[in-house]
Amino acid sequence: MKDNPLTDPEPVLRYPWDVPPDPGTAIEVAEGVLWMRLPLPMKLDHVNVYALDEGSYWTIVDTGFDTGKSKAVWQQLLNGPLAGKPVRRVIVTHYHPDHIGLAGWFQAEFGAELVTTRTSWLFARMLTLDVQPVPALETLAFYRDAGMDPAILEKRATERPFNFGDVVAPLPLGYTRIQQGSVIEIGGRTWDVHIGNGHAPEHATFWSRDDNLVLAGDQILPSISPNIGVYATEPMADPIGEWIEACERLRQHARPDHLVLGGHKLPFTGLPFRMRQLIDNHHGALSRLLDYITSPKAAGDCFAPLFKRSIGEAEYGLALVESVAHLSHLYQTGLATRIRREDGAWAYQRKD
């Protein structure tokens, strides 16, 4: 009988491992499945990557940034836990640089096959070719639309922005596409591909038919919610709507015994409970936001009800794009209106 994620036992998260692997080491989380970590130079200071044993070679899932430090850690892993066997296939869950950063390096240096979704490959390929010394005019206009703090906007206008190409290796031509409904063999298991959205378009997750493993990338994380933002590339995107739809759909596959191997934090069980949390988190944020915008407010004015904590300059950009995403969702679903303020920012107000 099909499991019912709303009534199954274990409505809490459990963490089989309290301590993550040190850089250059691995933890075997299931037969032939290794959990490893790569460092990131930011507040979220790591990304989880996985290696699945194919017998004579490895398939790895996600890669970390393209930095000298990451390559050194990978060399330790290749010589140590991976026992000198080659990496012949790289599966990338989504196009963000901490996940696809070294995919091109594995292709070029080791002849590995790249497997990912079409959107992930196209976004990554495009963004590695788009390096800017200062923010594009469209980006600055988007920041003004969002009501960015004027002092921060003035500073960012003259600084080199985050460039994808700075931390992502060039991607050679050629990849293997996966999509919703794909079935793929990895590490002696058969996996169903289910596509998520919101955090990244066409984000791949993998659900084993043979045991309880789920390779979730950033679509399903245990103790944090991934950033869901709107950017100048598609200012009228609705990632909040896409996120909620994807979570509702993926929840139907969730079992309490699933061992979820995510892109950050610790592996966990209790997936039905976590899926409800991820959905309720954004419904709660939208509700708080509606109560807050009884008078017109721009995205830059809405950090307090959304995040319920102070936002520093290092977090400001991610907070701003997530605030835009929530306000725009309310506007596009008819729950709020928007007008231009005198400073040019869009100000959103709850519709009576």
pLDDT reported for residue 11: 62
- Provide the whole-model pTM: 0.94
Q: What is the pLDDT along the chain (352 residues), one digit of tens a residue?
A: 233 344 444 568 999 999 999 999 999 999 999 999 999 998 899 999 999 999 999 999 999 999 999 999 999 999 999 988 999 999 999 999 999 999 999 999 999 999 999 999 999 999 999 999 999 999 999 999 999 999 999 999 999 999 999 999 999 999 999 999 999 999 999 999 999 999 999 999 999 999 999 999 999 999 999 999 999 999 999 999 999 999 999 999 999 999 999 999 999 999 999 999 999 999 999 999 999 999 999 999 999 999 988 898 889 999 999 999 999 999 999 999 999 999 999 999 999 8
Q: Token match 């309490």: residue?
A: 256
pLDDT score at 32: 98
Contact 87, 110 (CB under 8 A): yes
| Nearest CA among 217, 312, 227 for reference residue 265 | 217
Q: Which CATH architecture has domain 27-131+162-291?
A: 4-Layer Sandwich (3.60)
Q: Which residue has the tokens 């398939």?
A: 59
Distance CA 116, CA 203 (A): 9
Report the C-alpha gap between 122 and 124 in whole angstroms. 6
- Range list of H helices, the chain: 68-79, 97-100, 103-110, 118-128, 137-146, 150-158, 164-167, 239-251, 271-292, 303-307, 313-332
The domain locations on the chain are: 27-131+162-291
Please report the pLDDT score of residue 5 as a whole number: 40
Alpha-carbon distance 66 to 116, whole Å? 18
Q: Do residues 206 and 184 make contact, with C-beta atoms less than 8 angstroms apart? A: yes
Cα–Cα dist 155/157, whole Å: 6
